[in-house]
């Protein structure tokens, strides 16, 4: 066999791998990429979904000492800990987190000027639903969601590498897009274009996502090096510090603001952003303060622990080189640092990943449609229904989540579910309905679901203006409401794109695949 034959054979094997890895895991990959793209602006989504938190950041937010007094009124007696996240430009309020008497984790938002508790919004919003969906799919049983996301991440790396191998003219393809051609050709052009354009980003974001959860995906490395002593590993890597409660009531404690100032001095001016009080009210209470990473890419692990009684430093931690590298990659993935140009670039490149996955599916479907129809195979219909539900379906479900948020009043309950639970049910039920519609109405599903995306996006913008009074004219003229304006403008842009797509699909509508008696009995390709 000649060298050229071997090369051609290798490319064909990579083409097979690229095709079927994409077909099998494309739906899961699209959901992960879609939610990850939205998570770039998760806190801005919070502002849109929680109108009472649309506050201006005061020049001098309330001190930790002042807010701690309010926190003690909210946190139940006997709680093992509570924490405060300080306000910043993206989240202009204090966030209080604590455990209730049953051990459930709860959060409350506090006014940045006074520390007073804001009304309970009763929603998980962007940071509570969209962001966790991106990395865990909200499947908590035996960490199933993390493992599925990890599997999808490995598949994405395989798809990226095999895609480079099978496209011999990859850079020439980057400059080739023929929207006037037939759907298979135009979808492949767009697939290649978005794949090449975002290749470095997609590779780094996928690899860093796997590295972030190395303790889950690569546990044997830790167990081998530390002889199954994970407590020592976490103490050395993440700098944990603990001491048991004394069981005696505490006297007058030291100033939290003084501790924060001392921590800042130890960090050469680095600002604290997270403060947690352990064993509050106990004589052995201590305070954990973490450094902000708003001004650096690395999500640093700099932490100082203080004695709550006298403010003495008990322990401090700075990450070692290996963990610093891991936290740098984490920072690249999560983009929690303040840089609006890069944030928008991440968002656009995330959307390009969604387009790349969707157009890959479209090319597979359209290139096999006639052959499957002639042979009476059900493979294309099965994958098409899966694709429609996975692509336009999750867009519709997300918009239904936003619409439900604006329609449900504060304190809403139904069948034992509170407002946050009802919003989540709206998401999943609507998403399930899109799959059913796609399989029941082949040939029409794409167009109809694009119209649904446009209608729901317009409805979400309208409901936001009607229920809060924050219409675009007001939000654009008020700087601290720009996140809300940005959300509305993106919804309107999405509605326009969806409507134009629906019209174009209507112009090139095709008849549904014919039903065949043996279709259901034959295996899918």
27-84 pLDDT tens trace: 999 999 999 999 999 999 999 999 999 999 998 888 999 999 999 999 998 899 999 9
Query: Are the C-beta atoms of residues 346 and 340 closer than 8 Å to each other?
Result: no
pLDDT for residue 508 is more than 80: no
pLDDT for residue 518 is more than 60: no
Average pLDDT over residues 170-185: 66
Please provide residue 506's backbone torsions phi and psi, each rounded to the nearest 5 degrees.
-65, -35
Q: Which token pair is 376? A: 């009476």
Residue 61 DSSP class = P
C-alpha angle 300/304/310, rounded to 5°? 165
pLDDT for residue 188 is more than 90: no
What is the value of pTM for the model shown?
0.91
- How many Å apart are CA 467 and CA 396, to the nearest integer? 21
pLDDT for residue 280 is more than 70: yes
What Cα–Cα distance (Å) separates residue 185 from each residue in 178, 181, 360?
7, 6, 11
Residue 224: Cβ-neighbour burial (10 angstroms; 0-12, 13-18, 19+): exposed
Residue 434: per-residue pLDDT: 97
Query: 96: part of which helix (H) or strand (E)?
Result: strand 94-99
Model confidence at 514, pLDDT cuts 50, 70, 90, reads very low
pLDDT for residue 271 is more than 60: yes
Model confidence at 173, pLDDT cuts 50, 70, 90, reads low
Helix, strand, coil fractions of the chain, as percent rounded to 5: 60, 10, 30
pLDDT for residue 239 is more than 90: no
Query: Are the C-beta atoms of residues 104 and 117 closer than 8 Å to each other?
Result: no
Residue 288 DSSP class = E
Query: 289: part of which helix (H) or strand (E)?
Result: strand 286-291
Residue 19: per-residue pLDDT: 87
Q: Which token pair is 326? A: 């891991």
Lowest mean pLDDT among 37-51, 219-233, 315-329: 219-233
Candidates 294, 260, 293; CA nearest to 89 is 294
- How many Å apart are CA 18 and CA 274, to the nearest integer? 44
- How many Å apart are CA 14 and CA 36, to the nearest integer? 27
Q: Which token pair is 136? A: 């865990």
Residue 521: per-residue pLDDT: 38
Q: Which residue has the tokens 């239904």?
A: 400
Q: Which residue has the tokens 């950041």?
A: 57
Q: Which residue has the tokens 């352990």?
A: 278
Residue 517: per-residue pLDDT: 38
Average pLDDT over residues 275-296: 95
Average pLDDT over residues 371-392: 77
Q: Which token pair is 378? A: 């059900």
Model confidence at 183, pLDDT cuts 50, 70, 90, reads low
Please provide residue 83's backbone torsions phi and psi, each rounded to the nearest 5 degrees.
-135, 160
- How many Å apart are CA 301 and CA 321, to the nearest integer? 11
Q: Which token pair is 69? A: 């007094």
Residue 248 DSSP class = S
Q: Which token pair is 142? A: 């035996």
434-481 pLDDT tens trace: 999 999 998 899 999 999 999 999 999 999 999 999 999 999 999 999
What's the whole-number average pLDDT of the chain? 89
Residue 515: per-residue pLDDT: 45
10-39 pLDDT tens trace: 778 888 899 888 988 999 999 999 999 999
């Amino acid at each position: 066999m000649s060298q050229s034959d071997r090369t051609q054979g290798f490319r064909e094997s990579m083409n097979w791998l690229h095709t079927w890895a994409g077909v099998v895991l494309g739906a899961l990959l699209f959901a992960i990429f879609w939610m990850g793209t939205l998570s770039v602006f998760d806190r801005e989504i919070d502002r849109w979904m929680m109108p009472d938190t649309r506050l201006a950041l005061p020049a001098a937010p309330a001190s930790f000492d002042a807010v701690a007094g309010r926190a003690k009124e909210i946190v139940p007696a006997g709680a093992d800990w509570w924490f405060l996240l300080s306000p910043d430009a993206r989240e202009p309020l204090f966030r209080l987190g604590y455990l209730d008497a049953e051990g459930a984790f709860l959060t409350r938002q506090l006014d940045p000027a006074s520390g007073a508790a804001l009304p309970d919004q009763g929603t998980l919003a962007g940071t509570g639903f969209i962001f966790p969906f991106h990395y865990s799919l909200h499947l908590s049983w035996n960490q199933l969601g993390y493992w599925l996301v990890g599997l999808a991440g490995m598949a994405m790396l395989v798809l990226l590498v095999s895609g480079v191998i099978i496209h011999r003219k990859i850079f020439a393809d980057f400059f080739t897009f023929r929207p006037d051609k037939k759907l298979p050709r135009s979808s492949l052009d767009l697939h290649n274009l978005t794949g090449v354009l975002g290749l470095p980003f997609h590779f780094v974001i996928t690899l860093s996502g796997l590295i972030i959860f190395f303790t889950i995906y690569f546990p044997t490395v830790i167990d081998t090096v530390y002889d199954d002593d994970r407590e020592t590993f976490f103490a050395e890597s993440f700098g944990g510090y603990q001491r048991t409660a004394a069981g005696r009531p505490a006297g007058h404690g030291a100033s939290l603001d003084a501790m924060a100032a001392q921590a800042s001095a130890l960090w050469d001016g680095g600002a604290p952003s997270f403060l947690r009080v352990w064993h509050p009210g106990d004589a052995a209470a201590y305070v954990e303060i973490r450094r902000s990473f708003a001004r650096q890419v690395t999500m640093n692990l700099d932490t100082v622990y203080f004695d709550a009684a006298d403010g003495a430093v008990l322990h401090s931690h700075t990450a070692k080189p290996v963990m610093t590298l891991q936290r740098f990659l984490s920072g690249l993935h999560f983009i929690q640092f303040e840089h609006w140009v890069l944030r928008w670039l991440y968002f656009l490149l995330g959307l390009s990943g969604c387009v790349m996955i969707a157009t890959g599916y479209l090319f597979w479907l359209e290139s096999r449609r006639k052959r499957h129809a002639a042979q009476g195979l059900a493979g294309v219909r099965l994958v098409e229904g899966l694709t429609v539900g996975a692509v336009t379906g999750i867009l519709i479900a997300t918009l239904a989540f936003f619409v439900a948020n604006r329609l449900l009043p504060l304190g809403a309950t139904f069948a034992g579910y509170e407002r946050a639970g009802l919003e989540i049910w709206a998401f999943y039920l609507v998403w399930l309905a899109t799959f059913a519609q796609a399989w029941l109405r082949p040939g029409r599903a794409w167009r109809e679901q694009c119209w649904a995306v446009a209608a729901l996006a317009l409805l979400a913008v309208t409901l936001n203006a009607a229920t809060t009074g924050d219409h675009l004219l007001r939000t654009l003229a008020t700087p601290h409401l720009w996140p809300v304006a940005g959300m509305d403008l993106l919804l309107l842009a999405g509605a326009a794109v969806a409507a134009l797509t629906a019209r174009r699909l209507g112009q090139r509508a095709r008849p549904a695949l014919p039903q065949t008696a043996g279709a259901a009995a034959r295996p899918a390709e």
